[in-house]
Chains A and B, each alone.
Chain A
Amino acid sequence: MTRSLLVLGAISLAALIFALAIGSVNIAPSELWKVIQGEGSALHRTLLLDLRLPRTLAAFATGGLLAVAGALMQVLLRNPLADPYVLGLSGGAAVGALLAMLTGMGAFVISGSAFAGAMLAMVLVFGLAHGTGSWTASRLLLTGVVVAAGWGAVITLMLAVTPSYKLPGMLYWLMGDVSYARTPWPALVVLIFAIAVILPLARNLNVLARGPMQAAALGVSVRPLEWTIYVLASLLTATAVTTAGSIGFVGLIVPHMLRLVLGNDQRIILPASALAGGTLLVLADTLARTVIAPEQLPVGVITALLGVPTFLYLLHRSR
C-alpha cells in the first residue's frame, strides 16, 4: 500500500520538475537549481518563481482536489458515473463567476463569486434533497442533476445576453484555465486539510461502499458520514473551480484509473487520487501552454486527450 503511494509520489515530483523546466522559455535543470539556490538570471527568477511555480502548484492542487472530490462523490452516490460536478457545483460556481464578469469585476471578486456560487449550489441541493421521507443516494443524485441542468440554463442565458467582447473571457473560464490561478496556497491548504480529515474515515468509507444497510449493521453511523463526505466533496470542488474554472474529466476518470490498478480500498484510493490527479493536471497544463506556443490551449482539452487513451488502455488491460 505505501509502496504504490511512494511510487505515485515520485512520479508527481518528476512531473512537477518537468513542468518547471518546460515552457515558452525552456529552463535547463542547472538553471533551475541556480534559481532555487537564490541566484540565476532575473528573467529566469521571474519566470520560475512568479509565473511557473505558482501555476504548477495550482495545477497540482486543482487536479488533486478534483480527483479526491470525484472519488468521494463516487462513494457517496454509489455510482461510477459520478464526478465532482454532477450535483451542480460547477454550475453554481460558473453562474457566480460569469455574473461577476458581466458586471466588470476584477479577478478577486470573480473568484469569490465563483466560490459563493458553488456554496449556494451545495446548500440548495442539500436543502432540496433533504425534503420529507427517507433520503437516498439516488434522490440526492436526481436532485443534483436537475439543479445542475437549471444552472446550465442560466449560464446559457448569460452567454446569450452578454456583450460580445466579454464572451471569450467567459468561455475560457468555462473551459477551465490554470493560468487564472493567482495563488496556489488556498487550493493546497484545502487539499491537505481534506486528506487529513478523510483518511481516518477511509475505513468507514470502504464499509459504506457496500450499501447503507450493511454499513449501519456494521456499526457505521451512515447519515453523519454521508453528509460529511458531501460537504467535504463540495468544498474541494468549489475550491478547485474557484482556482481554475471548470476543468472536466479529472474528477471522473482518475479514481477509476487508480481502481483498475490499485483495487478499491479507499485508504489507498483517496491519497492516490490526490497525487495522480495532481500529476495528470500538471502534465496536461504543461502541454496546454507549450504544444502550440505562443497560442495557449485550455487545459480541459488536454486532460481529455491524455486521459481517454490512458483509461481505455487500462480498461483493456484489466479484462
Chain B
Amino acid sequence: MIKWKAVALLLGLMLLAPFGVAAPVCVTDDQGEELCLDHPAKRIATLSPGATELAFAAGAGDKVVAVVNYSDYPEAALKLPLVGNHTRIDLEALLALKPDLVITWRTGNPPAQMEMLRALGLPMFAIEPRTFEGVSKVIEQLSTLAGTEQEGFAEAERFRKGIAEIAEQYRDAEPVPVFYQVWQTPLMTINDNHLIGKVIQLCGGVNVFGDMPRLVPRISAEVVLEADPHAIITGSVEGIEDNQLDRWKSYTGMTAVANKNLFFVPASPISRPTPRLLEASRDICQRLDVARERE
C-alpha cells in the first residue's frame, strides 16, 4: 500500500530543496567516522594550509573564517584571520571566531589540542588525502558540508579528468628513474605511498626509493649514488633554482648530473593534497620528458 502522504511530503521537500531549505548534511571521513551538521556550515576554520586550499576549491572560500600560518593560496586566504600554527593553535583566537566546522589535519595537528576542541563540542572533520581520488573525494565532502555542492563537485570532476588525461598521455612513456629530494639536511625523500610518489608514477617516472617502508625515509647520499637516478627533482620557492641540489653537482659520474637533469619545481603545489597537484603533475611530467630526450 503506497503511503501517498509520505510520497507527497517527499516530493514537496525535493521541490523545496533548490530554494535552500537548510537540511542536515552528513559526511563520512576516510576513517569511517560520520559527521552530521544541522545545516551546511557557515563559518569554517581550516587548521592546515592544504585544508584552506581545499575549502576554497570546494567553493566554500567565502565561508572560511580562520586559517593557520602558511595558508597562502589562493590569494584571498592571505587576508583571513590567523589562529596560530598547524602544530600549535591559539585556541582562544579560534573560539572567538565562532566556527561551526573545523577542518583538521589528521596527523599534523596536535592531538591534545584537537581533543580539547572536541570536548568543547566543535564539529570537526579530519582530512588526509593520500591519493588523487582521495583529493577529489575530500573536495566533494567539504562542498557537501558547506552546501556548495555545485562548485565543489565540478572542481572535483575537473581534477579527476585532468589526472586521467595525464595518466593516459604517459601510460606508455619510457620509465625514468627519479630521486625526489624533500629536504637537504637530513636527506629525506618519499616512497610510493606519498602523493608526490604518485605524481612521479603518473608521469611514467620510477621513484628509486618507492618501496621503502617509511613514508618519508631519511637516507644517506651513498644510497642515492648507488641507485643512480636519471633525474633529481626538488621543490623550491616558485620553482626558482636554488642551492638545494648543489651537493650532487660534484658527483659527475651520476647519470642525472651528467645529463644535467637537476630539476626544480614549485614546492607548495606538489607538497599539498590539493587541485594544484594537476599543475604540479604537468611540471614534473614536462621535466621527465626533458630527461627522456637527454637519455
Contacts and interface: CB of A to CB of B under 8 A. Distances in A.
Interface of A: 23-25, 43, 46-47, 50-52, 106-107, 110, 163-166, 168-169, 172, 177, 179-180, 182, 289, 293-296
Contacts of B84: 294-296
B272 to A, nearest CB: 14
B239 interface: no
Size category of the B interface is: 20 to 34
A165 B108 contact: yes
Contacts of A182: 112, 115-116
B95 to A, nearest CB: 6
A25 B93 contact: yes
B93 A24 contact: yes
B90 A295 contact: yes
Contact of A164 (B83, B91, B112, B216): B216
A161 to B, nearest CB: 8
A296 B90 contact: yes
Interface in B88-126: 88-93, 95-96, 98, 107-108, 110-113, 115-116, 119-120
A106 B111 CA distance: 7
Given A163-B216, A295-B85, A296-B88, A169 B110 contact: yes
Given A43-B98, A107-B115, A163-B215, 4 more contacts: A168-B110, A179-B91, A294-B90, A295-B85
A106 B93 CA distance: 24
A24 B111 contact: no
Contacts of B89: 294, 296
Interface string B191-217: 000000000000000000000001110
Interface in B148-196: 188
B112 A107 contact: yes
Contacts of B47: none
Interface in B196-251: 214-216
B96 A51 contact: no
B233 to A, nearest CB: 19
A293 B108 CA distance: 20
B82 interface: yes
A272 B191 CA distance: 56
B216 A43 contact: no
A279 B179 CA distance: 54
Interface in B47-104: 69, 82-85, 87-93, 95-96, 98
Contacts of B92: 23-25, 47, 51-52, 289
A106 B115 contact: yes
Nearest to B113: A179
Contact of B95 (A46, A164, A166, A179): A46
A213 B152 CA distance: 80
Given A163-B214, A182-B112, A172 B96 contact: no
Contact of B88 (A47, A165, A172): A172
A289 B88 CA distance: 11
A164 B215 CA distance: 10
B191 to A, nearest CB: 12
A23 B96 CA distance: 11
12 contacts: A25-B92, A25-B96, A51-B92, A107-B112, A107-B115, A164-B216, A166-B107, A179-B112, A180-B112, A289-B92, A295-B84, A296-B84
